[in-house]
Structure 1
């Protein structure tokens, strides 16, 4: 996820104890941390809806 790319929302594991939700919106990337994966996924789903993105990211990221 890089600034100036299209809007995107991703959930990533951080140090096995936290989950980060990365939100790219209009060229700006922000991060929000969660203690539980379920809370992170719920927040990410809400952000995808707000940004008009698909409910779930593609199964495979071609850039991964």
Structure 2
């Protein structure tokens, strides 16, 4: 791979090739990043809902057990 880039100007290696890669694979990169961000958001919502459910269940079971002690 290095043999291909030897003799080429620096701007071809560091500007032209990355720009071409972004143009060609830009949609793919954007969809993968969007999928990962969406997945992380769904995991965060899931964790928050499960944590809230556990909090509510423990709150009600603790209050109902303390009432039965009376």
The verdict on a shared fold, with TM-score over 0.5 as the criterion, is no
- Name the structure, 1 or 2, with higher relative contact order (CA <8 Å, separation 6+): 1
Structure (1/2) with the larger strand percentage? 1
Structure label with greater radius of gyration: 2
